[in-house]
Structure 1
Amino acid sequence: MPTRFAQRPLRRAVLLAALLPASAIASEGDVTAEKVVGHYADLAHANFDDALGAARTLDQHIEALLDNPSQETLQAARDAWRQARIPYMQTEVFRFGNPVVDDWEGQLNAWPLDEGMIDYVKSDDYQHELGNAGATANIIANQSIQVGGEQVDVSELTPELLADLNEIGGSEANVASGYHAIEFLLWGQDLNGFDAGHGERKASDFMSGEDCTNGNCERRGTYLETASQLLINDLEWMVAQWAPESDDNYRQALLAESPQEGLRRMLFGMGSLSLGELAGERMKVALEANSVEDEHDCFSDNTHNSHYFNGQGVQNVYTGRYERQDGSTLEGPALADLLASHDAELHATLSSQLEASMQQLGEIKQAAENPMYFDMMIAPGNEEGAEMVNSAIASLVEQTGSIEKAAGALGVDSLQSDDAGHNF
């Protein structure tokens, strides 16, 4: 699977969308709300299908690591994890506004997590949620754990067990499954603070016999293998929810709603990911608190890529264009087409703002590859890093305002994006 970390050349597509009439850029005939919502469902299906394919590739590399633990097979599994984040992070624009996604995503992407619930940690440098009884449960080292007065048999690690352990004891920091649990098992703790460097787990943590380091190597491998299988199971279920050939899934329920309701869900998803989630929870919180614990991909230092591809997902929904992981492109009737036919000036403004936010996120991405990773950018006194993060936040806030105006122009009343309780 080719690496696609470089910023994508969407400027030409955006300029065309801004300059051409809707009828000239529609996939076929005049663009209608019905066609736009239908293509949105196609985008979701393709995007989740790519996430599933990348998760299966990751699983193959995890199997290779466990069959023959070495720094080479460990690095290959890490590379596959990073690659798997590219399509998944673009799917998050479908989360807000679509309950089927929002109710499901926590099992795949919940964070921050108290990693001591899963495996050993270096206690001197371990920061966790205060009062969380599960923060040091260490499932891998134990056959049973006690959290919040509840005794749980964890002797047999299964996908069902890991799913049930999420938020055990009522703490959202007790995360047993998903991308970040896998990330922790592949990288280990990042003990570098605001300095360069990610987690440095050794391949010997998965070796057998006398070569095993930190104990419980076979069980650690079983946990990693089980978490990977649960990730695939969950993504298979979501792909089926958007499949066009089904008569009884979420896609059909969405298309049975009024076209205006479909547009509302699209615009709410774009605005809420832009504002409350990406600008707020994932950037503003970490910067204002100077908190590496609030970094999204904190074990791998992959946060800059996750932020970038979140932004890409927002742009994908607006332009109706998604570059698939095999290099092909899915295009069709889009919000951009529809807005251009209703308010060409607002369309041009929003197109420009989306381009600007991608440029800001791209600068963070480029700086991280120099490297000045996100956890270094948010360090106290790093004025350059803070300026880059604040500029991206400002761009995301600005585009959200135009997304809400676009809703009004398209007849969607009173759209208010989720700000997650943040003031901007």
Structure 2
Amino acid sequence: MNVTPILKGTAIVGAALGASMAYAEPVNKQQVVEHYADLAHAVFEDALITAKTLDASIDTFLANPNEKTFSDVKQAWIDSRVPYQQTEVFRFGNEIVDDWEGQLNAWPLDEGLIDYVASDYQYELGNEGAQANIVANTSLQIGATTLDTSSLTPTLLASLNEVGGSEANVASGYHAIEFLLWGQDLNGTNSGAGERPYTDYAKGDACTNGYCDRRGAYLKAASELLIEDLTWMTEQWAEEGKDNYRQALLADNADNGLRKMLFGMGSLSLGELAGERMKVALEANSSEDEHDCFSDNTHNSHYYNEQGIYNVYTGTYVRADGSLVEGASISDLVAQQDTAAAKEIQKQFDLARAQVGQLVSAAEKDDQHFDQLIAANNPQGNKLVNEAIIALVAQTDSIERAAKIVGITSLNPDTADHEF
């Protein structure tokens, strides 16, 4: 699956929404929460499926490193981000997801913990692991502790997250894999992504920058850990699961389930996407603060975060294989209470998705990626990002309006301490 045909996917979702809002039979809150669990299972399962595809591509690449297999594995990583970014709406409001998420998607990271970096690398001051270079060292000295890193396993990588007490020490997850595939993006706010050569994984004398075997072992271990983590989370939402999170969610009061849904949508829309992922980078004009900073895939990550919010509101999700999941939704509940308000809220959701979609168009049509849009000398780019932020803030207002209509008050989405 390629990332490019985004508009095709959104058209499918829009068509599904029309069907969803036209249900002849009224829906109740419990049905909406049950379908929310179905959506979560489907999207986490797709994240797992695409992670397994990535893992297989890594195997092919490591067995025969060349330009073609390297390009293929990087595309597999980009494809894997499509469903994963749509899972993040389940993070806020569901502690089991939020507590787990850091091992898969923590950022920004001090990449010097993992592998070689440029001589002028700007790392977090006071971080003892910032220049550890796990790939090049079979043991690490962090403070008074000596760590054995001779065998690069999923268990070891998990144990090294936040080593030395620094959140910038990220040893596993999508962004560790991204860095191992692209390397540092040394272009700042100019055009271009990371340019790691495939020969960083070559065999024998063809190896560049040393430690190619260990770099490959690290890449494989990180991929295996990703699959382990996604397998566990997918099981937490499975209908056939016993004593899993889904069972606990559905056993609770339906209003509590709706609150989790609405809080998750609002918090991702406002504090996380508009705030941490856009506003912080824009105000600092800093490519170091963009999400997929090594691959320049940030526009897609932002878009699919927004798509995840849209999915939960409309009760629709287009799976990685192109099939459609649809069912009882918050939009149905709103429409049953106030048809006019439902249309107005839906319009705001459509506007927000379209506005965030402009970041994708800028990258794909104009070769203006997110790190270029936030540059201090790019007023038009800054304006485009700011308009996306404004649209997300307005969308959050609509989420709070929807909450009140369905009987959920004092929602208070997380602002992540940002002012809008």
Q: TM-score, normalised by structure 2?
A: 0.97
Q: Confirm or deny that 1:106 pairs with 2:106.
A: no
Distance in 1 (alpha carbons) for counterparts of 2:12 and 2:319: 18
The 5-angstrom pairing of residues 37-116 of structure 1 reads 37-116=33-112
Distance in 2 (alpha carbons) for counterparts of 1:5 and 1:422: 33
1:273 to 268, 282, 302: 268
Give the superposition deviation at 1:247: 2.2
Distance in 2 (alpha carbons) for counterparts of 1:223 and 1:16: 42
Distance in 2 (alpha carbons) for counterparts of 1:297 and 1:47: 20
1:333 to 328, 331, 348: 328
Distance in 2 (alpha carbons) for counterparts of 1:13 and 1:277: 23
Distance in 1 (alpha carbons) for counterparts of 2:221 and 2:85: 22
Q: Confirm or deny that 1:368 pairs with 2:366.
A: no
Distance in 1 (alpha carbons) for counterparts of 2:73 and 2:10: 30
> 1:9-36 deviations in whole A, cap 9, x for unaligned?
6468658857x895x326xx32000000
CA contact (8 A) 2:51 2:80 kept: yes
Give the superposition deviation at 1:347: 1.6
Q: Confirm or deny that 1:354 pairs with 2:349.
A: yes
2:163 to 159, 168, 184: 168
Please provide the CA RMSD for this pair.
Answer: 1.5
Q: Confirm or deny that 1:255 pairs with 2:250.
A: yes
Task: Find the counterpart in structure 1 of residue 379 from structure 2.
Answer: 383
1:197 to 192, 195, 220: 192
Task: Find the counterpart in structure 1 of residue 392 from structure 2.
Answer: 396
> 1:85-134 deviations in whole A, cap 9, x for unaligned?
0000000000000111000000000000000000000122x121111111
Distance in 1 (alpha carbons) for counterparts of 2:159 and 2:5: 34
Whichever residue aligns with residue 410 of structure 2, its letter is S
Report the more deviating stretch, 1-10 or 163-172. Answer: 1-10
Q: Confirm or deny that 1:236 pairs with 2:215.
A: no
Whichever residue aligns with residue 408 of structure 1, its letter is K
> 1:351-394 deviations in whole A, cap 9, x for unaligned?
11111111111111011112001000111120110011000000
In structure 2, the CA distance between the partners of 1:105 and 1:9, relative to structure 1 (3 Å rule), is closer
Give the superposition deviation at 1:4: 5.0
Which runs of 5 or more structure 1 residues have no equivalent in the other structure? Answer: none
> 1:41-98 deviations in whole A, cap 9, x for unaligned?
0000000000000000000111111000011111100000000000000000000001
The 5-angstrom pairing of residues 153-232 of structure 1 reads 153-232=148-227
- Aligned to 1:105, what secondary structure does the other structure show? helix
Whichever residue aligns with residue 25 of structure 1, its letter is Y
Give the superposition deviation at 1:3: 4.3
Distance in 2 (alpha carbons) for counterparts of 1:397 and 1:292: 23
Report the more deviating stretch, 323-332 or 337-346. Answer: 337-346
In structure 2, the CA distance between the partners of 1:218 and 1:16, relative to structure 1 (3 Å rule), is closer
Task: Find the counterpart in structure 2 of residue 409 from structure 1.
Answer: 405
Give the superposition deviation at 1:350: 1.6
Which runs of 5 or more structure 2 residues have no equivalent in the other structure? Answer: none
- Aligned to 2:317, what secondary structure does the other structure show? strand
In structure 2, the CA distance between the partners of 1:287 and 1:328, relative to structure 1 (3 Å rule), is same
Task: Find the counterpart in structure 2 of residue 6 from structure 1.
Answer: 6
Q: Confirm or deny that 1:314 pairs with 2:312.
A: no
Q: Confirm or deny that 1:297 pairs with 2:292.
A: yes
In structure 2, the CA distance between the partners of 1:16 and 1:316, relative to structure 1 (3 Å rule), is closer
Distance in 1 (alpha carbons) for counterparts of 2:100 and 2:243: 18
Distance in 2 (alpha carbons) for counterparts of 1:84 and 1:10: 18
CA contact (8 A) 2:157 2:171 kept: yes
Distance in 1 (alpha carbons) for counterparts of 2:272 and 2:15: 27
In structure 2, the CA distance between the partners of 1:247 and 1:187, relative to structure 1 (3 Å rule), is same
CA contact (8 A) 2:20 2:326 kept: no
- Aligned to 1:196, what secondary structure does the other structure show? coil
- Aligned to 2:325, what secondary structure does the other structure show? strand
> 1:215-237 deviations in whole A, cap 9, x for unaligned?
00000000000000000000000
**Between the two proteins, what is the percent identity of the paired residues?**
59
Distance in 1 (alpha carbons) for counterparts of 2:248 and 2:4: 33
In structure 2, the CA distance between the partners of 1:56 and 1:372, relative to structure 1 (3 Å rule), is same
Give the superposition deviation at 1:170: 0.9
Give the superposition deviation at 1:148: 3.0
Distance in 1 (alpha carbons) for counterparts of 2:181 and 2:328: 40
Distance in 1 (alpha carbons) for counterparts of 2:187 and 2:313: 38
Whichever residue aligns with residue 94 of structure 1, its letter is F
